[in-house]
Structure 1
């Protein structure tokens, strides 16, 4: 079900942490895409899924991402410092297909934005150039919304509800989970804050009662509370540690599997951190004891360079793994 947390108020770096909560392995692969790749937005594992008029483009920016099921991009950042994150939203409704508009299968939504936009504003402008088309990934409908942020700290949440796009564009939109829709999440957060103040909890403190469950509303409010308490980091290491601490707090531990009418959420499969200032991408698999990261500036992103990949499954991976990536088999 997932949680995204943006930290854009410290003096060291703009950082985003996210959890990937899912009922099975999404087969995550860390992938580096160079510039100059020709893309077909209608393809899903070699099959056209949008019908006529698929969106086609050539990547203008390199990126480092986490792919899922070998069919789409769930998370990542590009060389300009734009981050993008795909999270589940059960109420997603893209509306009827208009063949007069170029179609983009939704699993490639954020990869399209990372390929062509340097800022949140540019990414939002790209949304008008195509129409999203629903697909299933591994038997699951890809009903999702996305979060965007850039190195300036700007932020946006994009959802499609009742066939209409809703955009929340402001650097204050730092927390995101799942259902209900973002407007309702903000209303519930304001209600919780008012309740706490009525009970005499004017300032954050150890005595403040916090929602402690694993549902999306509780995770949203808990992430908002702890991210507001993050101290100014002394260095980049402390900055990453801070955002990771909040991201881990919002994770769903093993033993809380999806059950209709019970938890309605999934265990956390992995966590990532995007350092948009220093162009570092951190990855932490829940079943691995180690945190790994890669620096996008260490890769050849020029047109014609190979796509590079790394499976995060190896327990021998630790620290900077930029030199552990290998060339992906062609065609990618």
Structure 2
């Protein structure tokens, strides 16, 4: 494990919900939960970005064979402490989310494989893959390397989805990669590992939900997983993007932890923000829980060509509302 003073892993109580069963499009939402601000920035990376997978905030943390690559695809992401990516999508409609999983173990370092520090694992996939199939295929080209900061290891697992509705949940447990690949894998929270979450869900019948259906109401990952499954079965066919995004955000809000809730002693923290995405139309929505408005960004309004500037927006502005694509500003040097 590499100890770094500048980064930390995603929180203990995040939730991802994918809606790929409606006839209008593919939509996804997630919550980000953490005991302090992760200093999120909405960041637009053009194609042709040169990456160094072994660096964190200018510090070399993977010294033996760090991965280096040039991005094939532009991406719009939410960063964490400006040194890694925890959420976002690329110009091809591949979308991804990093969530906390205590059981994560990336295994012993194999210097024969290029190493990518965990905070750039998702960015590596968004840079180099256009579909879930492509992302799964390149997983073994690199080795994810654990980093630790502020007393917490970056024990993360990933959920990814693409514009066709394909999905994958990727975990490293006991040093072994485990991939759950298929459009049926629509929900992800945290511990226990995914196979155990699926086993718990199989014991419940949410196929015909009603007002009398017993439903767990706590904020632990098991209960949130089951609540997301239940409410997902209640979603009506959307007539518009507005209705579709409202639906997936409603599920994200239902599994959110109230701001300031004193759950820290249990390893469960308040929801800092929620995101949603329309994968077909490349529209990304962001809702900071301390701001009154949802904002969104349209990737196609930016210059995505190699050599174009990296563009950043700080969402911690109470005056932001609606389409904020024009409010991004150039940043030099890029965060990573």
Q: Distance in 1 between matches of 2:263 and 2:192?
A: 17
Match of 2:262 in 1: 257
Return the match for 1:154 from 149, 156, 166. 166
Match of 1:34 in 2: 46
Question: Which TM-score applies when normalising by structure 2?
Answer: 0.94
1:232 aligns with 2:232: no
Conserved? CA contact 1:38–1:58, under 8 Å: yes
The count of aligned residue pairs is 323
List runs of 5+ in structure 2 lacking aligned partners: 1-12
Match of 1:317 in 2: 320
Match of 1:286 in 2: 289
Q: Distance in 1 between matches of 2:308 and 2:259?
A: 40
1:103 aligns with 2:108: no
Worse-superposed segment, 184-193 or 275-284:
184-193
Worse-superposed segment, 130-139 or 171-180:
130-139
Q: Distance in 2 between matches of 1:44 and 1:118?
A: 25
Deviation at 1:119, TM superposition (A): 0.2
Match of 2:9 in 1: none
Conserved? CA contact 1:215–1:264, under 8 Å: no
Return the match for 2:31 from 5, 15, 19. 19
Q: Distance in 1 between matches of 2:222 and 2:309?
A: 42
Deviation at 1:329, TM superposition (A): 2.2
What is the root-mean-square deviation in Å for CA atoms of aligned residues? 1.2
Deviation at 1:257, TM superposition (A): 3.0
Conserved? CA contact 2:99–2:190, under 8 Å: yes
Match of 2:4 in 1: none
Deviation at 1:50, TM superposition (A): 1.1
Return the match for 1:61 from 70, 73, 78. 73
1:266 aligns with 2:274: no
Deviation at 1:254, TM superposition (A): 2.4
Deviations 1:33-76 (A, max 9, x none): 00001000000000111111100000010000000011100000
1:93 aligns with 2:98: no
Conserved? CA contact 1:72–1:107, under 8 Å: yes
Q: How does 1:38-187 map to 2 (within 5 A)?
A: 38-187=50-199
Deviations 1:252-286 (A, max 9, x none): 112433344xx431100000001101100000000
1:246 aligns with 2:251: yes
